[in-house]
Amino acid sequence: MGPVILLVEDSGDDEALTLRALRKSNVANEVVVARDGEEALDYLFATGPHAGRDPRDVPQVVLLDLNLPRLGGLDVLRRIRADERTRLLPVVILTSSREEEDVVHGYSLGANSYVRKPVDFAQFTEAVQALGLFWLLLNEVAPRRRA
Amino acid sequence: MNCAIAGRAGAGCRRLVGSSRDFSSVDFQALFEQAPAPYLVLTCELRIVAVSDAYLRATMTERAQILGRPLFDVFPDNPEDPGANGVANLRGSLEQVLRSGRPDTMAVQKYDIRRPESEGGGFEARYWSPHNAPVLGPGGDVRYVIHRVEDVTELVRLEQRGAERDRQALRAAEAKEAKFRALLESAPDAMVVVGREGRIVVVNAQTEALFGYTREELLGQPVELLVPERFRRAHPAHRAGYFASPRVRAMGSGLELCGRRKDGSEFPLEISLSPLQTEDGLLATSTIRDISERKSAHEALERARISAEAANRELEAFSYSVAHDLRAPLRGISGFSAALLEDLAGKLDDEAAGYLRRIVAGAERMAQLIDALLGLARLTRTELHRDTVDLSSLARSIADQLRASEPERAVDVVVAGGLVAHGDAPLLRVAMENLLGNAWKFTRKNHRARIEFGAEEVDGLPAYYVRDDGAGFDMALRDKLFAPFRRLHKSSDFEGTGIGLATVQRIVQRHGGRIWAEGSEGRGATFRFTLAGGTREGGETPWGR
């Protein structure tokens, strides 16, 4: 099992569907779920309920929803990029409409990619491939053929 | 000294020279008859007893015909002149002379004379200046009256012509003045004419109505009377400035000008100035228009526009959040249905699986509609950036995409070259994609289809058109073509969200243009649009033709 995936998502439905999609995509990594932006930052920087966690232990990738209560997705992203420890952390934004895709383009806050909800296998694969995380995330076992 | 006289009285003259004091042999009759002035001698009964040659010439008569005859038999009034009063006047004067024994000079008389038959007969108009003098006997009694006249016809005629000219000139001047007056009074604007010193010279009725002063209260007053107090001090300098370089112009262009009524109230106005060169020097004419109504109408319009814009923005924000929030449960519906289909594969009977597939399809369709709605809302939100857009090459590239999507179809796409518009490139692409995409879609059932893109002039503007020979539509329903989610075809025949033409209309309207359609069922459709003029940007007015 590799490093964790941090899923920042407040909708239970979307969480369930995303987890299912990851499972179906053969992603074997542990998925940590944060329900809002503050919780996500607490996890990343080992504060609040997550005090005591080693902040150097960064997730492999963050799946970040834009519509979050309290601290929004873009604010979370801004904080991630502003901190030396997480500056290079791959962040994939989960968008729920084409509108939001535009927003992601427009802000260019350093999102590495975006995936449209509900997360489907093909789009997700594309995103992680683009990030070069493919083999780290996808536990696809290539059929071993031995001569 | 006079040859004519010398010829007739040559012998007498010589005698006169020889003995200057001897008058006994003077031929007085010849002297009288040949005197250079017209004389007529009358008895107390007004019979003609002597006449001078000059008189005969002036009256076109001969001595033999008139001597001894009553004066008024020879010289009656002109029967063709009903106003002739020469006889009466002359008789009056002569009788007075006879009565008083004193001479009388008459006013100029019109006294027409008879023309001899040899010269065509009738009467000839003549004017005379007559003088009647008595010839008294030794007892002081009047024995004769000498009637002397002077033919002043030419003089009178000259005077008459001059007077006529004067009268005409006067009449013309009066007519001009009246015309000017009428024009001034009927002008819809107040007009105030001011002299160099700033005193009001002329005002019209509108001025009285507008400012509440009577004409008498205004004439001669400084024009500053009509200016609000706070501007009065500065006004004379402006006035002097105008007289220094007088030309037709608006007063204080760009400024909000005010007038002051007699009751002290103020109103917004517009003034245009023009110089008027007159005999009395340079005057300035100011044409004053009350713009309170226009201003309040403009303000009401502006308020309506602002509130409409706010309502629009609110509606957009609302539709955006509704669309957004609607999408979230939809993801659950379709996602979990799909999960069930997957997880229970083989355990569900065909009917149950079919229901789940319908749920998924329904949710997906709804997601599409919501996306389309969001897209439409976005169109009104984003700003318009006008640029030069080559519609011809845009149409060609879209046609290439369409051909690539269905290479098996036989469609002739004819694109007129060189059609360049001034508009927002991304939006125009969306519009063209929709129109050409529609044409492509609705010609699907054609064995061979033809799609044209071109332009023609409508009301002086280029109207671009996309024409196809496809399924067409019922013209009775043409107003519904552009309404969102209105579809004129069964989705089993032609798929679609029903938002395409609404989107095109929105884009065209945002460019200040309009779009309209012609067609008939089974015989194709033509969509025409303009990109400027017509409705205001963002205007929602539907039009039917």
DSSP labels for B309-364? HHHHHHHHHHHHHHHHHHHHHHHHHHHHHHHHHHHTTTTS-HHHHHHHHHHHHHHH
Smallest CA–CA distance, residue A18 to chain B, in Å, is 10
pLDDT (0 to 100) of residue B227: 92
Rounded Cα gap, residues B215 and B207, in angstroms:
8
| Average pLDDT score over residue span B338-360 | 90
Q: Could you say which of B356, B381, B406 is where a domain stops? A: B381
pLDDT (0 to 100) of residue B12: 43
Chain A hits for B497, CB-CB cut-off 8 Å, are none
Decide if B211 is inside a domain.
yes
Same domain, B397 and B506: yes
Please judge whether B323 and A14 are an interchain contact, meaning their C-beta atoms are less than 8 angstroms apart: no
**CATH code: domain of residue B400:** 3.30.565.10
Please judge whether A98 and B320 are an interchain contact, meaning their C-beta atoms are less than 8 angstroms apart: no
Same domain, B523 and B391: yes
CB proximity list for A145: less than 8 A, separation 6 or greater: none
CB-count exposure of residue B513 (10 Å: 0-12, 13-18, 19+): buried
Rounded Cα gap, residues B12 and B310, in angstroms:
124
Output the pTM of the full model. 0.45
The torsion angle over the Cα atoms of residues B327, B329, B333 and B335, rounded to 10 degrees, is: 70
Distances (CA, A) of B371 to B56, B312, B324, B459: 121, 19, 9, 36
Same domain, B227 and B330: no
Same domain, B377 and B423: no
pLDDT (0 to 100) of residue B17: 46
Decide if B266 is inside a domain.
yes
Nearest CA in chain A to B325: A96
CB-count exposure of residue A7 (10 Å: 0-12, 13-18, 19+): buried
pLDDT (0 to 100) of residue A119: 66
Q: Find, among B270, B314, B310, the residue nearest to B290 by Cα.
A: B270
| Average pLDDT score over residue span A82-95 | 88
Mean pLDDT of chain A: 79
Chain A hits for B374, CB-CB cut-off 8 Å, are 97-99
Q: Is the dihedral of CA A86, A92, A94, A95 positive or negative?
A: positive
Smallest CA–CA distance, residue B331 to chain A, in Å, is 6
pLDDT band at B216 (very low <50, low <70, confident <90, very high): very high
Nearest CA in chain A to B336: A17
Same domain, B31 and B135: yes
Domains delineated in chain A: 5-137 (3.40.50.2300)
| Interface with chain A: mutation pick from B319, B336, B499, highest number of A CBs within 10 Å | B336
Q: Find, among B466, B495, B454, B469, the residue nearest to B411 by Cα.
A: B469
Q: Identify the weakest region by mean pLDDT among B35-44, B90-99, B495-504.
A: B495-504
Return the top range by mean pLDDT from A132-136, B382-386, B448-452: B448-452
Q: Could you say which of B273, B290, B307 is where a domain stops? A: B290
pLDDT band at A134 (very low <50, low <70, confident <90, very high): low
Rounded Cα gap, residues B185 and B165, in angstroms:
29
| Interface with chain A: mutation pick from B322, B331, B369, highest number of A CBs within 10 Å | B331
Answer for the pair A18, A9: CB distance below 8 angstroms, yes or no. yes
Rounded Cα gap, residues B12 and B34, in angstroms:
13
Chain A hits for B370, CB-CB cut-off 8 Å, are 97
Rounded Cα gap, residues B439 and B355, in angstroms:
34
Q: B122-156: per-residue pLDDT in tens?
A: 888 888 889 999 998 888 889 999 999 888 888 88
pLDDT above 90 covers a percentage of chain B that reads 33
Same domain, B398 and B264: no
Its domain, for residue B311, covers 296-381
pLDDT (0 to 100) of residue A99: 67
Interface contacts A/B by beta carbons within 8 Å: 41
Chain B hits for A118, CB-CB cut-off 8 Å, are 331, 334-335
pLDDT band at A102 (very low <50, low <70, confident <90, very high): low
Decide if B237 is inside a domain.
yes
pLDDT band at A138 (very low <50, low <70, confident <90, very high): low
Chain B hits for A97, CB-CB cut-off 8 Å, are 323-324, 327, 370-371, 374
**CATH code: domain of residue B375:** 1.10.287
pLDDT band at A122 (very low <50, low <70, confident <90, very high): low
Answer for the pair B441, B411: CB distance below 8 angstroms, yes or no. no
Q: Is the dihedral of CA B239, B244, B248, B252 positive or negative?
A: negative
Rounded Cα gap, residues B232 and B237, in angstroms:
10
Decide if B203 is inside a domain.
yes
pLDDT band at A143 (very low <50, low <70, confident <90, very high): very low
Residues 30-59, chain A: which have Cβ within 8 Å of B? none
Please judge whether A17 and B371 are an interchain contact, meaning their C-beta atoms are less than 8 angstroms apart: no
Q: B22-43: per-residue pLDDT in tens?
A: 677 778 888 888 888 899 999 9
Is B504 or B368 the better-scoring residue by pLDDT? B504
pLDDT (0 to 100) of residue B256: 81
Q: Please name the member of B331, B335, B374 whose beta carbon is closest to the beta carbon of A99.
A: B374
| Average pLDDT score over residue span B233-241 | 88
The torsion angle over the Cα atoms of residues A120, A122, A128 and A131, rounded to 10 degrees, is: -120
- As given in the structure block, the two tokens for residue B332 are 């659950």
Please judge whether A14 and B328 are an interchain contact, meaning their C-beta atoms are less than 8 angstroms apart: yes
Q: B177-192: per-residue pLDDT in tens?
A: 888 888 888 888 899 9
Same domain, B377 and B389: no
B529 pLDDT exceeds 90?
Answer: yes
**CATH code: domain of residue B205:** 3.30.450.20
Decide if B15 is inside a domain.
no
Is B410 or B323 the better-scoring residue by pLDDT? B410
| Average pLDDT score over residue span B367-385 | 77
- As given in the structure block, the two tokens for residue B3 are 């040859």
Question: Residue B142: helix, strand or coil by DSSP?
Answer: strand
Q: Could you say which of B261, B290, B319 is where a domain stops? A: B290
DSSP secondary structure letters along A55-68: TTS--SEEEEES--
Distances (CA, A) of A18 to A9, A65, A117, B364: 9, 11, 8, 18
CB proximity list for B127: less than 8 A, separation 6 or greater: B108, B109, B110, B111, B151, B152, B153, B155, B156, B157
Answer for the pair B172, B140: CB distance below 8 angstroms, yes or no. no
Residue B133 backbone phi and psi in degrees, to 5: -130, 135
Decide if B521 is inside a domain.
yes
**Total Cβ atoms within 10 A of residue B114:** 17
Chain B hits for A17, CB-CB cut-off 8 Å, are 331-332, 335-336, 339
Please judge whether A97 and B329 are an interchain contact, meaning their C-beta atoms are less than 8 angstroms apart: no
Please judge whether A97 and B374 are an interchain contact, meaning their C-beta atoms are less than 8 angstroms apart: yes
Sequence-ordered alpha helix ranges (H) in B34-121: 53-59, 63-66, 71-74, 86-100
**Total Cβ atoms within 10 A of residue B535:** 17
Please judge whether B371 and A98 are an interchain contact, meaning their C-beta atoms are less than 8 angstroms apart: yes
Q: Kindly report the CA angle at B306 between B302 and B307, in degrees rounded to 5?
A: 120
Decide if B174 is inside a domain.
no
pLDDT band at A139 (very low <50, low <70, confident <90, very high): low
Please judge whether B331 and A13 are an interchain contact, meaning their C-beta atoms are less than 8 angstroms apart: yes
Chain B CB within 8 Å of residue A65 CB: no
| Number of independent structural domains in chain B | 4
SS (H, E, C) B179-233: HHHHHHHHCCCEEEEEECCCEEEEECHHHHHHHCCCHHHHCCCEHHHHCCHHHHC
- B/e letters for B316-348, b = 16+ CB within 10 Å, e = fewer, are beebbeebbeebeebbbbbbbbbbbbeeeeeee
Q: B389-400: per-residue pLDDT in tens?
A: 999 999 999 999
Same domain, B341 and B238: no
Nearest CA in chain A to B368: A97
Rounded Cα gap, residues B6 and B16, in angstroms:
12
Q: B258-304: per-residue pLDDT in tens?
A: 899 999 999 999 898 998 888 878 889 899 988 888 888 888 998 98
Rounded Cα gap, residues A18 and A61, in angstroms:
14
Return the top range by mean pLDDT from A40-44, B86-90, B182-186: A40-44
Q: Find, among B86, B87, B39, B95, the residue nearest to B63 by Cα.
A: B39
Same domain, B200 and B87: no
Q: Identify the weakest region by mean pLDDT among B20-24, B166-170, B341-345.
A: B20-24
Which one-letter DSSP state was computed for residue A50?
G
pLDDT band at A57 (very low <50, low <70, confident <90, very high): confident
Chain B CB within 8 Å of residue A10 CB: no
Q: Please name the member of B327, B375, B378 whose beta carbon is closest to the beta carbon of A96.
A: B327
Smallest CA–CA distance, residue A27 to chain B, in Å, is 17
Chain B hits for A102, CB-CB cut-off 8 Å, are 378
Same domain, B266 and B303: no
Residues 113-132, chain A: which have Cβ within 8 Å of B? 117-118
CA B144 to chain centre: 76
Q: Identify the weakest region by mean pLDDT among B341-355, B371-385, B531-545.
A: B531-545
pLDDT (0 to 100) of residue B157: 86
Smallest CA–CA distance, residue B372 to chain A, in Å, is 10
Same domain, B373 and B460: no
pLDDT (0 to 100) of residue B8: 44
Chain A hits for B320, CB-CB cut-off 8 Å, are 99
Chain B hits for A11, CB-CB cut-off 8 Å, are 328
CB-count exposure of residue B266 (10 Å: 0-12, 13-18, 19+): middle
| Average pLDDT score over residue span A16-37 | 85
Chain B residues at the A interface, defined by Cβ less than 8 Å, are 320, 323-324, 327-329, 331-332, 334-336, 339, 370-371, 374-375, 378
Please judge whether B328 and A13 are an interchain contact, meaning their C-beta atoms are less than 8 angstroms apart: yes
Mean pLDDT of chain B: 85
Q: Please name the member of B327, B329, B336 whose beta carbon is closest to the beta carbon of A97.
A: B327
Is A138 or B504 the better-scoring residue by pLDDT? B504
pLDDT band at A141 (very low <50, low <70, confident <90, very high): very low
Same domain, B138 and B204: no
- As given in the structure block, the two tokens for residue B63 are 């001595």
Nearest CA in chain A to B367: A97
Rounded Cα gap, residues B529 and B462, in angstroms:
8
Q: Identify the weakest region by mean pLDDT among A64-78, A115-129, B277-291, B502-516.
A: A115-129
Rounded Cα gap, residues B38 and B148, in angstroms:
6
Chain B CB within 8 Å of residue A97 CB: yes
| Average pLDDT score over residue span A135-142 | 56
Chain B CB within 8 Å of residue A72 CB: no
Q: Find, among B189, B255, B252, B263, the residue nearest to B225 by Cα.
A: B263
Residue B481 backbone phi and psi in degrees, to 5: -55, -40
Answer for the pair B134, B94: CB distance below 8 angstroms, yes or no. no
Decide if B2 is inside a domain.
no
Residue B423 backbone phi and psi in degrees, to 5: -165, -175
Rounded Cα gap, residues B338 and A83, in angstroms:
40
